[in-house]
Structure 1
Amino acid sequence: MHRHLIDAPPLAMDADSIEAGRLDALDRFDVMDTPREEAFDRITRLIRNIFDLPIAIVSMIDGHRQWYKAYDGLGNREVARSETFCKYTMQELLPVVVPDARDDIRFARHPSVAGDPHFRFYAGVPLRTGDGHNIGTVCAIGYEPRQFSPRETAILCDLAQLAMDALELRQLAAVDSLTGVLSRRAFKEQGAHALALAQRHKHNLACIAFDLDHFKSINDRHGHAMGDKVLATVTQACREHLRGSDLFGRLGGEEFALLLPHTDRHSMIGVAEKLRQAVSHIVVSQGPSKVGVTASFGMAALDALTPEIDTLLANADAALYEAKAAGRNRCIAWRPANDAPKSPRRRVLKAGRIVFNNRMSSIDCTVRTLAEDAAGLDVTSAVGVPEIFNLAIRSDGFETRCRIISQTERHIEVEFC
């Protein structure tokens, strides 16, 4: 593998260390890409009603994007980090209030200020952890200039603290309220115990990860109520094919995972195919609307190169992305040991950069899985990313040449050259 330290002044490396600590703090809350939750939606409704503003957001910021845990008044769920107003709030200890974005040098030329939708007012408060890391923001946005009094700023700060309190409380939740399956944190905790038992007693263990194909279009075309009904129907259909000893968890909005004790590779593939067929037969009705659904499945079996639950999940995730890249509505197993990476993958949350075109072009990314010879990267869009590029992780002083082995619209799997 070709690695070298990235040339950077000491101050830049200090900033990279701070960013690495911030992402570690964000990772501890395990909140990115989780489903919407009423506790956070309530906060955005309060912001709009209290301040009479059209847009309210509770967001988290990872290596390449601002992702909305809750949002009111917007149609999208995330925006590139480079394009967000909140990147400035993230750098502060105190609230950031911009009465008129056209008069602020940081925002005046922003496309959303100079053009549609013509944002003018912004107020944001960082979501600060107990150990001093800003992991996200609570913000309010308006289309007209306005002043924000000290009393209003104090109220927004209280609402930001309520969001942090909700983040703390959600770590204790064991069951997903919509589907009744395990929450992501509970699934990983119980999964770690199941994996340790399998290793100790030397029995088989299999992991299946799946998500619903084109689920965003269901929400966009039929509304979130229909989307919720689809999710509940899918989980119920899957439960009918599972044993009482199997672990079933919801890891994201439409992303699920299963752990199957005493299940070998052959049986794992059979279970995944049975679930895929069950999902493909589902038709959900709500009023005059009817929605069919399919899902893509990735599988991984426990082996000697899988020391922990995050590695097993990362392997299943990689196979899932391969299934999606191959056309969706299919099952793909993680490669056999002799074809697998030489070291286990780890689930991580690191800020990365895709560098190409003789170092004249770069794209921010978030490194989600990492091994000695491979990685999984999240991007805002995979369009325009060349087949071969350099991956830089500045906080680790790491850079290496990469080759894309599979990709979807917003995720890239690479091997190191």
Structure 2
Amino acid sequence: MGHQAGDYVQPGARNEQDRLAALDNYDVLDTPREEAFDRVTRLVRSIFGVSMSTVTLIDGHRQWFKSQQGMPNQETERGPSLCNAAIQHPRPLVVPDTLQDLRFANNPFVTGAPFVRFYAGVQLRSPEGDAVGTLCAMHDQPRPFDNAQLAILVDLAKTVTSELELRTLATRDALTGALSRRALREEFSRAISLARRHKFELACIFFDLDHFKSINDTHGHGVGDLVLRACVEACRGELRSTDTIGRFGGEEFVALLPHTGAKAALAVAEKIRAAVARCRVEGENSPVRFTASFGVAALDGSDIDVDQMLKRADTALYAAKATGRNNCQMWHEQQPESGLLRRVLKAGLITFNGGRSTIESTIRGLSKSGAMIQVISTAGVPERFKLGVVSEELHRLCKIAHKRDNQIEVVFE
């Protein structure tokens, strides 16, 4: 049960930007695993007897798995992914044997790990109809997939989209009880407005757990969850009732401190740091201790918004990690930043070698003077290149200002 190549709909720049805007509205990229989505992918594997299942979301340069069963990575390149082909499809995409389908026979995910021989993907569509990703079933052997089975997969995909819609209403992180990222951003924006209106101080602390991946790898995700809960409880013990804590990412947290200046916020960060360092949770064989690194930023007289204030705190956090972790750093004007970056989610293309080499990317921040870019890997990206953002009709020569993990901050030349 396959489809002809003519079924594909090649998206234009406007359609692609509408799709990315719909994905951005869910504010789900790079958020932690959630049981509601893992339950669906476990059901897919169980019902259809397949070796792999994912809830896949696709931004400008990658497929990122909100949930994955049987897949080794959290994300892969977008270009060759079968889910990328599926979102360009008007109907569910079913490929009983990828080696017998000319579109996929030479695909690196077919000929190499994870060796996908069977694929069935149903688009996850926003209420406006934009395909932000897929729910897919995959197997390492070819197999048939009839209409009754496809109907079940379609129903499960509707369950995923319903969960995505519900997330926009959720205010609490289910694991730790901290504010969700969306709720934190809303509270942060409100706090900045109030602070400006009534002329009071406001500060934030951006912190994350040191070497958290190694905790999960060594002790398991169950212990990792206990560590996250303990971290939030330690933080609450040092905060006032008027302060707010939210979970920003997997092991990233933000504390919002109204009526608090930079110096006082740094003292609070130090108290939290010491409280976290005193924590321990019981592992299978021995107690597990952990630490965190902290960056502090305070509202000043400049016209900054939530994203810029978070960026400043994150810059200070990066400095804390660069100086050995388990310490607190304050953002100051000498720490580099490339202007007021507005938060965006746009597809970008990095071009170099006279146009012969290209790398797909996602633009996460943009200003008149620079951009924040996400890529699968910064390896091989030259110091200078041309950045294209089709939806903005922007083509600029860039110079790298900073690299961090899979992020590149550039200034326009």
**Given the two structures, how large is their TM-score scaled by the length of structure 1?**
0.90
45, 48, 53: which one pairs with 1:48? 45
CA distance in 1, matches of 2:295, 2:396: 27
The 3-state SS of whatever aligns with 2:79 is helix
For residues 73 and 19 of structure 1, do their structure 2 counterparts lie closer, same or farther at Cα, with a shift above 3 Å needed? same
CA distance in 1, matches of 2:312, 2:190: 18
395, 401, 411: which one pairs with 2:391? 395
Q: Which residue of 1 aligns with 2:279?
A: 282
Residue 76 (structure 2) pairs with residue 112 (structure 1):
no
**Displacement after TM superposition at 1:300 (Å):** 2.3
Residue 144 (structure 2) pairs with residue 179 (structure 1):
no
**Displacement after TM superposition at 1:67 (Å):** 1.0
**Contact 2:338 2:370 (C-alpha < 8 Å) held by counterparts:** no
**Displacement after TM superposition at 1:180 (Å):** 1.1
Deviations 1:107-136 (A, max 9, x none): 211223223442200000110111121111
CA distance in 1, matches of 2:81, 2:321: 29
Q: Which residue of 1 aligns with 2:369?
A: 373
Q: Which residue of 2 aligns with 1:58?
A: 55
CA distance in 1, matches of 2:316, 2:368: 18
Give the partner amino acid of 2:342. R
**Contact 1:324 1:408 (C-alpha < 8 Å) held by counterparts:** no
For residues 102 and 129 of structure 1, do their structure 2 counterparts lie closer, same or farther at Cα, with a shift above 3 Å needed? same
1:157-168 equivalences under 5 Å are: 157-168=154-165
138, 154, 179: which one pairs with 2:151? 154
CA distance in 1, matches of 2:410, 2:286: 40
**Displacement after TM superposition at 1:341 (Å):** 5.5
Residue 355 (structure 2) pairs with residue 359 (structure 1):
yes
1:185-264 equivalences under 5 Å are: 185-264=182-261
CA distance in 1, matches of 2:386, 2:264: 39
Using the TM superposition, name which of 234-243 and 283-292 deviates more.
Answer: 283-292
**Contact 1:34 1:69 (C-alpha < 8 Å) held by counterparts:** yes
Give the partner amino acid of 1:27. D
For residues 351 and 335 of structure 1, do their structure 2 counterparts lie closer, same or farther at Cα, with a shift above 3 Å needed? farther
Deviations 1:363-407 (A, max 9, x none): 222222222223222221122222222222121111223332322
For residues 412 and 189 of structure 1, do their structure 2 counterparts lie closer, same or farther at Cα, with a shift above 3 Å needed? same
**Contact 2:295 2:330 (C-alpha < 8 Å) held by counterparts:** yes
18, 30, 34: which one pairs with 1:33? 30
The 3-state SS of whatever aligns with 2:158 is helix
**Displacement after TM superposition at 1:342 (Å):** 7.6
The 3-state SS of whatever aligns with 1:253 is coil
The 3-state SS of whatever aligns with 1:34 is coil
For residues 351 and 334 of structure 1, do their structure 2 counterparts lie closer, same or farther at Cα, with a shift above 3 Å needed? farther
CA distance in 2, matches of 1:22, 1:400: 24
Give the partner amino acid of 2:180. S
Give the partner amino acid of 1:372. K
Using the TM superposition, name which of 228-237 and 341-350 deviates more.
Answer: 341-350
The 3-state SS of whatever aligns with 2:12 is helix
Q: Which residue of 2 aligns with 1:8?
A: none
Deviations 1:329-356 (A, max 9, x none): 44343342x8765852222211122222
For residues 197 and 61 of structure 1, do their structure 2 counterparts lie closer, same or farther at Cα, with a shift above 3 Å needed? same
CA distance in 2, matches of 1:380, 1:313: 23
**Displacement after TM superposition at 1:327 (Å):** 5.3
**Contact 2:261 2:298 (C-alpha < 8 Å) held by counterparts:** yes
The size of the alignment, in residue pairs, is: 404
Deviations 1:268-287 (A, max 9, x none): 22323333333344333212
Give the partner amino acid of 2:140. Y
64, 71, 76: which one pairs with 2:68? 71
For residues 387 and 272 of structure 1, do their structure 2 counterparts lie closer, same or farther at Cα, with a shift above 3 Å needed? farther
**Contact 1:226 1:286 (C-alpha < 8 Å) held by counterparts:** yes
Residue 20 (structure 2) pairs with residue 23 (structure 1):
yes
Q: Which residue of 1 aligns with 2:404?
A: 408
**Contact 1:191 1:247 (C-alpha < 8 Å) held by counterparts:** no
Structure 2 portions without partners, runs of 5+: 1-9
Q: Which residue of 2 aligns with 1:128?
A: 125
For residues 313 and 116 of structure 1, do their structure 2 counterparts lie closer, same or farther at Cα, with a shift above 3 Å needed? closer
CA RMSD of aligned residues (A): 2.2
For residues 219 and 94 of structure 1, do their structure 2 counterparts lie closer, same or farther at Cα, with a shift above 3 Å needed? same
**Displacement after TM superposition at 1:260 (Å):** 0.9
Give the partner amino acid of 1:39. A
For residues 186 and 352 of structure 1, do their structure 2 counterparts lie closer, same or farther at Cα, with a shift above 3 Å needed? same
**Displacement after TM superposition at 1:167 (Å):** 0.7
CA distance in 1, matches of 2:400, 2:323: 14
For residues 256 and 158 of structure 1, do their structure 2 counterparts lie closer, same or farther at Cα, with a shift above 3 Å needed? same
CA distance in 2, matches of 1:402, 1:374: 8
Residue 97 (structure 2) pairs with residue 85 (structure 1):
no
Specify which structure has the bigger relative contact order, considering alpha-carbon pairs within 8 angstroms and separated by 6 or more residues.
1
For residues 356 and 283 of structure 1, do their structure 2 counterparts lie closer, same or farther at Cα, with a shift above 3 Å needed? farther
Deviations 1:3-54 (A, max 9, x none): xxxxxxxxxx971121111111111111111111111111111111111111
CA distance in 2, matches of 1:112, 1:96: 16
The 3-state SS of whatever aligns with 2:295 is strand
1:334-345 equivalences under 5 Å are: 334-336=331-333, 343-345=339-341
Q: Percent identity?
A: 50
